[in-house]
Structure 1
Amino acid sequence: MRLPWMSRAERRLWASARDGAELGALMARWLEGDLASRPGYAARFGPDEETADLVPALAGLCRTGWVTTMSQPGVAGPGADGLWWEQRAAVEGWLSRTDLLEPLMRAADRAGLLTSVTDHDYGTWDGPITVTRRDGHAYTTMGGWMSRRDLARQWPELHRGLVRQITGGVHLAVAAPEYGEDGQRMWDVLAGAVRTEVAR
């Protein structure tokens, strides 16, 4: 039986994070199954089953400075409702290292990926990206504007100082242009961009 709340030990651990590097390391541990819970997500549940193959890429991004909060693989096929569902490979989250924005955008542009950037300090943002279609109609999006209050609600267990960093920072969403498995190429593009930047 899963208890409907985060353990005290893990609550203290998340509350101890003071910067993006510490938060990213904790998110990577949750993705990899080393932590049972994460803020803003159902307690004692790990990533969705469809995310399993993405864990190495997502954990690497989190540890490097892109704290991912939502992601999905590129898939297409019939859903439980009998209709045709299509997903773009996509990911979004907070850039705790803003120096990653330029290389990620450059790599995304070269690969023809779709991007949406929100900079809360400067009050600028791009529109959302449709990442899932149901029976040919737009169903879910990533990116686009989210208020500081809504961003703060994603991180209820964090220290207030770190929440202020997140809500005032740069948020990035990237998606493959194509729906289905061909879009899975996106993960190699992003990993390569981050790896090159870290090696410098």
Structure 2
Amino acid sequence: MSRADRRRWKSARTTSDLGELMALWLEGKIASRPGYQPRSGPESETAHLVPTLAALCRAGYVTTQSQPGRAGTGADGRWWEQRAAVELVVTDSTLFHPLVDAAYAAGLIVRNNDPDGGVQEQPVIVTTREGEPVTWFGGRIGHTGMAIQWTGLDRDLYRTVSTGTYVSIIAPEYGGAGDRMWDVLDFLTGRRRYGPADLWASSTQPTDPARG
């Protein structure tokens, strides 16, 4: 990470500051971010998700990792399937319930994890190779991993994000059909609007299968 980038991340004092910097990194306006390979932007497969992810960051939900729903033959000739998924850190309790309620209303899987010793829910498989699990979202977040993820932040801001709630939102289906999840999140942030018939205004939670 360049000296200029380090200064920018170190200068952030609030979650809003952090969200704006993360949005700028997603948009390619900052070369590096903490906890990620220097001078590397988001993976090419997530390019079409950047507007949604940046809007989430600017709305107070700081995204930490994401992937689209996909299914097909990989570069290794094997069959790969992945669920659309995103992990966000939420430090404002007034933002937590709208996010979780919208996800439940849409039948998405939700995992909440508090790295400061609170709730630690079980992870969910999000990528398989020939039917075998490869990656997971959700699950325990340790203090060592947290320090690596947010290295270089202001001490007080680090304390805020390291004690926030890490929420994973995951499509229940594998493949491109799961990308409906991004529409749900766009309605949450206001990138898309239904008007009077907004389907995501309900806080009704789904049956157990949608909880993963």
Q: TM-score under structure 1 normalisation? A: 0.91
2:173 corresponding residue in structure 1: 178
Instruction: Check if 1:119 corresponds to 2:109.
Output: no
1:49 corresponding residue in structure 2: 44
User: SS of 2:174's equivalent?
Assistant: coil
The partner residue of 1:74 within 62, 69, 73 is: 69
Identity of aligned residues (%): 53
Q: CA–CA distance in 2 between the matches of 1:194 and 1:14?
A: 24
1:192 corresponding residue in structure 2: 187
Write out aligned runs for 1:3-82 (5 A): 6-82=1-77
Letter in 2 for 1:130: I
Residues 52-106 of structure 1: CA deviation (Å, up to 9, x unaligned): 0000000000111111110000010001121110010100021132322111111
User: SS of 1:172's equivalent?
Assistant: strand
1:3 corresponding residue in structure 2: none
Mapped contact 1:93–1:173 kept (Cα < 8 A): yes
Instruction: Choose 144-153 or 76-85, whichever is displaced more.
Output: 144-153
2:79 corresponding residue in structure 1: 84
Q: CA–CA distance in 1 between the matches of 2:40 and 2:52?
A: 19
Residues 35-57 of structure 1: CA deviation (Å, up to 9, x unaligned): 11111111111111011000000
User: SS of 1:21's equivalent?
Assistant: helix
User: SS of 1:125's equivalent?
Assistant: coil
The partner residue of 1:131 within 126, 132, 146 is: 126
Q: CA–CA distance in 1 between the matches of 2:93 and 2:146?
A: 18
Q: TM-score under structure 2 normalisation? A: 0.86
1:142 corresponding residue in structure 2: 137
Instruction: Choose 157-166 or 72-81, whichever is displaced more.
Output: 157-166
User: SS of 2:181's equivalent?
Assistant: helix
Letter in 2 for 1:165: T
1:163 corresponding residue in structure 2: 158
Which 5+ residue runs of structure 2 have no aligned equivalent? 192-212
Q: CA–CA distance in 1 between the matches of 2:81 and 2:115?
A: 31
Mapped contact 2:67–2:84 kept (Cα < 8 A): yes
Question: How far has the Cα of 1:120 moved from its partner?
Answer: 3.6
Alignment root-mean-square deviation, CA: 1.4
Letter in 1 for 2:106: A
Q: CA–CA distance in 1 between the matches of 2:189 and 2:144?
A: 29
Which 5+ residue runs of structure 1 have no aligned equivalent? 1-5
